[in-house]
Amino acid sequence: MTISSVLLKAVVGGLAVVAFSLVGHAGRPKRFAGLFSAAPSVAVASLAITAVVKGADATVPYAQGMVFGTAGMVAYCLVSLYLIQRLHALIGSILAWLAWLLVAGGLYLALGR
Amino acid sequence: MDGRQLLEDDRERVGFDWSTLGSVKPAELGIRFAFGAAIALVAGVAGAVAGPRFGGLFLAFPAVLPATLTLIEKKEGMTKAWADASGGVLGALGLGAFAFTAMLLRWNPVGALLLALVAWAAVSAGLYFLFRVTGLFLRQDRLVSKAGS
């Protein structure tokens, strides 16, 4: 993986996040808009560029790792629901990263290596 | 969390109000771009250094959510931020469908990515409408409120 392809992933990933967040911003009601908060924006950009640069075979382990990350994402959102009520959005949603780390990291260590 | 406000919001018709995009500040978009680019960079570097399966973990990292939820809370209040995170749970389940479908990339990269996006949209929107129609959102709200009290 060259530096230029990693930088390309960063730029396209950032643009994809902006695009999905704009769709989410326009979405109504708020719970429906929330679906777009967990959209696969970075994943689409990253997997597409990996497929172009390294070939389709190289994308499969990324997708496998993403399955563990997704379990962490579900845990993150559930824990953030609990924490936002108590600590407000900024602190609650940052602390909830620990839930992602525990679940995604734990699954990776147990099954993914 | 204001239960009444949540209920009123839930009763709103599902759709998109594109006129609201005019109120989005360039700085807000800049923050989202920066977080999105940063996590794509982390995933790429982690994949190159520690292996692609490890890098893949970060393709489902909630990098942008703290910024999104904080902005919503600041502009529209905590209940709306909470509702957004509540929808995020279902979107995250859809993300699982995306990841599983994306494993077909070896078969046909373009087709598999499009199919994976359709899988994400179908699962997350399908769950949303299931929760909306059956009143599961209310049960979920009560459960989380009880745990939080």
The torsion of the CA quartet A73, A84, B65, A20, rounded to 10 degrees, works out to 100
Q: Is A99's pLDDT higher than 90? A: yes
Question: When comparing pLDDT for A29 and A2, which is higher?
Answer: A29
Dmax over CA atoms of chain B, in Å, equals 50
Give exposure, A93-102, as e/b (b: 16+ Cβ within 10 Å). Answer: bbbbbebbee
Q: Calculate mean pLDDT across residues A4-18.
A: 93
Regarding whether A69 and A48 lie in a shared domain, the answer is no
Cβ distance of A46 and B87 shorter than 8 Å: no
Do A95 and A112 lie in one domain? The reply is: yes
Determine what percent of chain A is predicted with pLDDT higher than 90: 87
Cβ neighbourhood burial of B75 (10 Å; 0-12, 13-18, 19+): exposed
Q: Please name the member of B29, B83, B147 whose beta carbon is closest to the beta carbon of A34.
A: B83
Cβ contact A48–B113 (<8 Å): yes
Cβ(A70)–Cβ(B94) below 8 Å: no
Q: Under a CB-based contact definition with an 8 Å cutoff, are residues A16 and A44 in contact? A: yes
Beta-bridge partners for B15: A28
Q: Inter-chain contact B144–A82, Cβ cutoff 8 Å?
A: yes
Return all residues near A20 (Cβ < 8 A) that are at least 6 apart.
A36, A39, A41
Q: Taking CB atoms and an 8 Å limit, are A17 and B36 in contact across chains?
A: yes
Q: Is the pLDDT of residue A22 over 60?
A: yes
Residue A106 has pLDDT above 60, yes or no: yes
- Are residue A50 and residue A91 in the same domain, yes or no? no
Q: Please name the helix (run of DSSP H) or strand (run of DSSP E) that holds residue A56, with its range, or none.
A: none
Task: Identify whether residues A4 and A46 lie together within a single domain.
Answer: yes
A84 and A104 assigned to the same domain = yes
38-57 in chain A: CB under 8 A from chain B: 38-48, 50-51, 56-57
CB contacts of B92 in chain A (<8 Å) are: 38, 70, 73-74, 76-77
Q: In terms of domains, do A70 and A40 share one? A: no
Instruction: Compute and round to an integer the Cα radius of gyration of chain A.
Output: 16
Alpha-carbon span B79 to B62, nearest angstrom: 20
User: Could you list the pLDDT tens digit for every one of the 149 residues in chain B?
Assistant: 788 888 888 889 999 999 999 988 999 999 999 999 999 999 999 999 999 999 999 999 999 899 999 999 999 999 999 999 999 999 999 999 999 999 888 888 888 899 999 999 999 999 999 999 998 988 888 887 766 55
Q: Classify B32 as helix, strand or coil.
A: helix
B33/A18 CB distance under 8 A: yes
* A86 and A42 share one domain: no
Alpha carbons within 13 angstroms on the beta-carbon side of residue B78 total: 17
Average pLDDT over residues A29-52: 94
Q: Do A10 and A33 have their domain in common?
A: yes
Looking at residues A20-36, what average pLDDT do you find? 94
**Mean pLDDT in residue range A79-85:** 92
Q: Which of A25, A29, A65, A72 is nearest to A47 (CA)?
A: A65
Q: So what's the ipTM on this one?
A: 0.93
A84, A39: one domain: no
Instruction: Note whether A49 and A62 are same-domain residues.
Output: no
- Domain membership of residue A27 as a residue range: 1-54
Domain identity same for A63 and A113: yes
Q: Are residues A104 and A84 in the same domain?
A: yes
Q: How many domains does chain A have?
A: 2
Q: Is the peptide bond before B66 cis (omega within 30 degrees of 0)?
A: no
